[in-house]
Structure 1
C-alpha cells in the first residue's frame, strides 16, 4: 500500500517547512519541493546525507544522496537523487537527513520524517508534494554572484602591499653580507629559490 511521508525541514533558527510526499517519489522530488518552498535556485549543487538520531553524519559514500556526481571515481558509490526513491529504506517516524542546500556557503537544513500514513481516498484529489506548514523566512542561499562580493582572490595579497622589497626586516639581522652565512656556508646568486 502506498504511503504518505511528512517531512519537517528546519534550520537552527525560526525557519520550518513541512512537506508531504508520496513514498514512491524520489529524493530529487523532495529536493525540488524544498527548493520551491524556499524559492531557491534548484540548479545549484545540493545533497542529502543520511544522519543518525543525533544528526551525526557518517562520511561514507553510501550515506550521500547527490543531485549529480561531480567526480565519477570518488563518488561512484553515492546514490543519485533521481534514482533513489524516498522508500529505499522503509520510511519511519524519526528518520533524519541533512540537506546541504548551499554547497558554496556550506548551509544545510535538518530534514526529519515526522509522520508516515497510508494513502487514502481523500489523497487521490491532492497534488503532491504538498507544503502543509510554512513558518519563518528561509535563509539566504549563497549564489555565485554573492561569492564575488564576499571573496576576492586578490584581497589577501593586499595585506602585503605595505612591504617594500628594499625595506629591511627588523627581525632579521644580516651581519653576513659577504655571501656567507653564520655557519660558513656560502650561497650562489645563480640559483633562485
Structure 2
C-alpha cells in the first residue's frame, strides 16, 4: 500500500508538499523525503511526534537516540510508517533543526494501491516557497493554560517588614 501525505510548513503562507511513500518505509526514509522536498540538506537533528486530532504532540520518535536510559527511545530508523500512521491515527508533527524549529504538520490524506512502474517515495505536488528562515514558533494553541495563569492571583497582602502578622515566630530556627 502507498500512503499519501500532505506535509504543511507551520507558517502564515500556504507552503506544503504532497508526498507518496510505501507504508513499509521507515520514518527515516520519510524524514529524508521531507527534507529533500522542502530543499533542506538533511544534516540537522529532527524528530517526528505522534499527534492527536488537535495537533497535540505525544510520543517523540527522534532521528537517533541521544539519551542514555535503560529504556531507549524508538528511533526513525527502527520505526515503520505503518507502525505510527493508520486510517484512525492520521497525524504526525515533524520538527527539523532544533535550533531553528522548522515545524511541519503531517497528515495522511489517503491510502492507495501501489502503481506498477511508479518509483516511491514520490513528490506529487509542491506549493509555496520555503522562506530563508524558519517561521517563528506560535504557541497560541496553549490559550487554556494562559487563561488559568491569568485567573491566579499572584499578589499578596504580606508586608515582609511586619513579622508579627506572618503567623510564625521570627526566631524559628
Query: TM-score, normalised to structure 1's length?
Result: 0.63
Q: Which one of the candidate residues 133, 139, 153 is aligned to 2:125?
A: 133
Q: Which one of the candidate residues 63, 75, 84 is aligned to 1:80?
A: 75
Alpha-carbon RMSD across the aligned residues, in angstroms, is 1.9
CA contact (8 A) 2:53 2:91 kept: yes
Gap runs ≥5 in structure 2: 135-173
Change (3 A) 1:99 1:16: same
Q: How far apart are residue 141 of structure 1 and its match?
A: 5.6
Q: How far apart are residue 70 of structure 1 and its match?
A: 1.7
Q: How far apart are residue 20 of structure 1 and its match?
A: 0.1
Q: How far apart are residue 94 of structure 1 and its match?
A: 6.2
Largest Rg, 1 or 2: 1
Q: How many residues align?
A: 132
Q: How far apart are residue 79 of structure 1 and its match?
A: 1.3
Q: 1:1-193 counterparts in 2 under 5 A?
A: 3-11=1-9, 12=11, 13-58=13-58, 63-73=59-69, 76-89=71-84, 91-92=86-87, 95-119=90-114, 123-140=115-132
Gap runs ≥5 in structure 1: 143-193
Q: Please give the per-residue CA displacement for 1:122-173, whole angstroms capped at 9, x wherever unaligned.
A: x22011000001000124366xxxxxxxxxxxxxxxxxxxxxxxxxxxxxxx
